[in-house]
Chains A and B, each alone.
Chain A
Amino acid sequence: MKFVVKAWSNGGARAGILHLGTSTIDTPSLLLSTRKGLPHFISPDLLSCLPAPESRLLHVSPLHFLEGLSMKTISKIGGLHQLLGLHDHCFVAVPRDSIQCLPEANSTNKIGASFETPCGRLLIKPVEYMEMISSTRPELWATLADEVPAWVSDKRNKTSVDRTIKWLDECISISPASGAVFGAIVGGSSLEERRRCAQEVATRNVSGYWVGGLGLGESMDERPALLNAVIEALPEEKPRLICGLGLPEEILQGIAAGVDIFESTYVAQFAMYYHPTCLLTMLIAFTAIYRKDTTSIVEGCTCYTCRNHTRAYINHLLNVHEMLAQILLEIHNTHHFLGFFRLIRDAINAGRFEEFRREFVQRWR
């Protein structure tokens, strides 16, 4: 993995280039969410209709595979690329998946991190996690963390930082030869703990940093200070990845603080709950008014859905509960969200990120 910062814009926002696997990705960039390695609805042969290379970064939670597929079998098959038939894509492994694999801080203990998953509550030890990493062979992976929500006691929060650092060292010591490692940074809602954790992790031999424990109850107002406390302690030249920021506004917050890669379940949430969303025109909730609407979801959008189908057709599919609706929506929403990131990169490169952010937030509200 190689990362180079190319441009800055008013403050923390920066644009860079990430070389990962066989791909060269411009940052800030988006990780697409997956379920067992593939998108929730977009089938693999339709993935190629998304803009490349920006659609090639996929977030994978190794925990998904625990339901029905052993690590031994995945290893035998040859890892994620072979398992999923996606040879042009890059996999970024982070155990947490903000929809279905949520950290369960009350059950996490000194032995391992607990997650609430579709196959029940799982306790993952560092050595087990590293077995998953070496079997799945992602291009990039985050170390195991003890993520706690914003409302835990100071003592619990401090413990989470100590544990996360300890597990980071364990993971690195068991680390497989390939795959870039991102050190996990937690600290809840405490500026001191966030800073402490970041300072510790900054001394470790990692390729980048994963800012964990956010999107778990802290308010949007609290977040900039927490992000800054972390980022200030980290070297500029290494990339920063964050999970759990959903809304476009939150993404902008993260970018302003200096984060480079984002995992967001914004798109997946909407596809799963029948809510198409178009960021710039704020089209929400298909209702009867679209019954005869023969225009595309967004005029001029070049995604597969907008090139081929009308609002009327998608309205019909939603009404009769056809899965095709969710497929088409996930395609459009992903395409659109990736477009949002492109606009952000353009704004940073042009040195006008803060204006872009202001305008967007105004229109969004």
Chain B
Amino acid sequence: MAGTIKGLATYQLEEIGCQIILGNTYHLALRPTSELIDELGGLHKFMNWPRALLTDSGGFQMSPVDGKPMLLTPEESIQIQNRIGADIIMALDDVVKTTITGPRIEEAMYRTLRWIDRCIAAHKRPHDQNLFGIVQGGLDPVLRDICVRGLVDRNLPGYAIGGLAGGEDKDSFWRVVAQCTATLPEDKPRYVMGVGYPLDIVVCSALGADMYDCVYPTRTARFGTALVPEGVLKLKHRAMAEDTRPIDPTCACMVCKNYTRAYIHSLVTKDAMGSQLLSFHNLYYMMQLSKNLHSSIVQGKFPEFVCNFLQKMFPKGDIPEWVCNAMEVAEIDISSCCAPFRYIQATKVQSNLNEDEIQAV
């Protein structure tokens, strides 16, 4: 955010249960500048947010405002983040789109490794700011592996899985996450950057990721879309004008407890209050999802939670194949939610492989 979550006051964020907010380093460096934030005591004090903050490196969104290309060195990125003062800061990495192929990906991965050392050297506040490294390497498991090992060697407080959420197909996406979580240390947080949709978060959590960031909940709110267990609800739709139910009858947020879809429909895209109320609900929904993931894991009921979640989102059992494959690798049995035909298909593939392997031996 540029010093605020769109349309919500810090009191509301606390009420919703937000524990950590991401600050957009590029925007903050532009306005009001990291020097000013530093002079006024850091971002926590500037926005009066008593909980945690994370800043990104400022490198990901380098579209220039004034037409001049902006070069950000690792040293500059860390300096800016030191001044802003967030609890977690991100190393500057060389990000390439996963849809790109060729030597550029390898170049980006090695550069990311060289830069982590420069970031570590430039970091003036290792005692109060945690520098996370970011794993790059595109969709190539060999490159990803080299990057993971390189970062783990530096013994950082946490690790991010970067370079995803940029247009790659879901099947490639989950495999990269699975590979990274399998090889990153168990006792350090794993942060999948730019993810995302509730379904993606559930899958990545099953695979062993811990942290996520996404503009999706608030951005989609501004377009009149609410997050619900079934997926999404488009409040702009004319049918909503007469719907006197709450957005989500199972949601305990102040929006669902007090307002009907009809009223929200009358506000969305026309009045600021509409996007405020929807942003509130959507963030509450995401916080609740995180809480439920957390508590179901702690209580040893994670597979049930996942099944429940998938059943609501895919009542016909038409769970996407990538989700089924990912859950299998995560060793979460979701057979009860899959339509029988699909499940048999998936397991058939598995048993065919086994036969081939045996024959080869």
> Does B bind A?
yes
- Kindly list chain B residues whose C-beta atoms are within 8 Å of the C-beta of A308: 9-11, 48
Q: Are B6 and A73 in contact (CB under 8 A)?
A: no
Binds A, one of B108-116, B178-186, B268-276, B344-352: B268-276
Query: Which residues from 35 to 55 on chain A have a C-beta closer than 8 Å to any C-beta of chain B?
Result: 35-36, 38-41, 43-46, 49
Query: Closest residue to A45 on the B side, CB-wise?
Result: B254
Complex CA–CA separation, A69 to B241 (angstroms): 6
* Known pairs A43-B280, A327-B7; A35 contacts B273 (CB<8 A): yes
Q: Are A323 and B3 in contact (CB under 8 A)?
A: no
A237 an interface residue at 8 Å Cβ cutoff? no
Query: Closest residue to B267 on the A side, CB-wise?
Result: A36
Query: Separation in Å of the A239 CB from the closest CB of chain B?
Result: 29
Query: Closest residue to A37 on the B side, CB-wise?
Result: B263
Binds A, one of B31-39, B82-90, B162-170, B200-208: B31-39
Complex CA–CA separation, A242 to B10 (angstroms): 36
- Kindly list chain A residues whose C-beta atoms are within 8 Å of the C-beta of B337: none
Q: Are A83 and B263 in contact (CB under 8 A)?
A: yes
Complex CA–CA separation, A324 to B15 (angstroms): 17
Task: Name the one of B32, B47, B273 contacting A41, with C-beta atoms under 8 angstroms.
Answer: B273
A285 an interface residue at 8 Å Cβ cutoff? no
Query: Closest residue to B259 on the A side, CB-wise?
Result: A85
Q: Are A324 and B7 in contact (CB under 8 A)?
A: yes
Q: Are A291 and B242 in contact (CB under 8 A)?
A: no
The count of residues in chain B whose C-beta lies closer than 8 Å to any C-beta of chain A is 41
Q: Are B9 and A46 in contact (CB under 8 A)?
A: yes
Q: Are A320 and B267 in contact (CB under 8 A)?
A: no
- Kindly list chain A residues whose C-beta atoms are within 8 Å of the C-beta of B254: 44-45, 85
Query: Which residues from 1 to 45 on chain B have a C-beta closer than 8 Å to any C-beta of chain A?
Result: 2-4, 6-12, 15, 27, 31-32, 36, 39-40
- Kindly list chain A residues whose C-beta atoms are within 8 Å of the C-beta of B46: 310, 312-313, 316
Query: Separation in Å of the A230 CB from the closest CB of chain B?
Result: 34
B260 an interface residue at 8 Å Cβ cutoff? yes
Q: Are B32 and A316 in contact (CB under 8 A)?
A: yes
Query: Separation in Å of the A303 CB from the closest CB of chain B?
Result: 12
Contact with B along A251-295 (1 / 0, CB 8 A): 000000000000000000000000000000000000000011010
Complex CA–CA separation, A67 to B271 (angstroms): 11
Complex CA–CA separation, A30 to B262 (angstroms): 29
Highest count of chain B CB atoms <10 Å: which of A45, A46, A294, A304: A45
B258 an interface residue at 8 Å Cβ cutoff? yes
Complex CA–CA separation, A250 to B11 (angstroms): 35
Task: Name the one of B4, B39, B277 contacting A322, with C-beta atoms under 8 angstroms.
Answer: B4
- Kindly list chain B residues whose C-beta atoms are within 8 Å of the C-beta of A85: 254, 257-259
Complex CA–CA separation, A354 to B248 (angstroms): 55
Q: Are B244 and A77 in contact (CB under 8 A)?
A: yes
Query: Separation in Å of the A5 CB from the closest CB of chain B?
Result: 36
Query: Closest residue to A65 on the B side, CB-wise?
Result: B266
Query: Closest residue to A118 on the B side, CB-wise?
Result: B270
Query: Separation in Å of the B354 CB from the closest CB of chain A?
Result: 56
Task: Name the one of A70, A315, A316, A322 contacting B241, with C-beta atoms under 8 angstroms.
Answer: A70
Query: Separation in Å of the A326 CB from the closest CB of chain B?
Result: 7
Query: Closest residue to B47 on the A side, CB-wise?
Result: A313
Contact with B along A326-339 (1 / 0, CB 8 A): 11100000000000
Query: Closest residue to B243 on the A side, CB-wise?
Result: A73
B144 an interface residue at 8 Å Cβ cutoff? no
- Kindly list chain B residues whose C-beta atoms are within 8 Å of the C-beta of A118: 270
Query: Separation in Å of the B312 CB from the closest CB of chain A?
Result: 26
B265 an interface residue at 8 Å Cβ cutoff? yes
Question: Interface on B for A, CB 8 Å cutoff?
Answer: 2-4, 6-12, 15, 27, 31-32, 36, 39-40, 46-48, 241-242, 244, 254, 257-260, 262-263, 265-267, 270-273, 275-277, 280
A-B contact pairs, 27 of them (CB 8 A): A36-B263, A39-B273, A40-B273, A67-B266, A69-B241, A73-B262, A77-B260, A85-B259, A292-B36, A304-B11, A308-B9, A308-B11, A308-B48, A312-B36, A312-B40, A313-B47, A313-B48, A316-B46, A319-B31, A320-B2, A322-B3, A322-B6, A323-B275, A324-B4, A324-B6, A327-B276, A328-B9
Given contacts A73-B262, A292-B39, 15 further A-B contacts (CB under 8 A): A35-B273, A39-B273, A44-B254, A69-B262, A69-B263, A69-B266, A77-B260, A83-B263, A85-B259, A118-B270, A294-B40, A304-B11, A308-B10, A312-B36, A315-B32
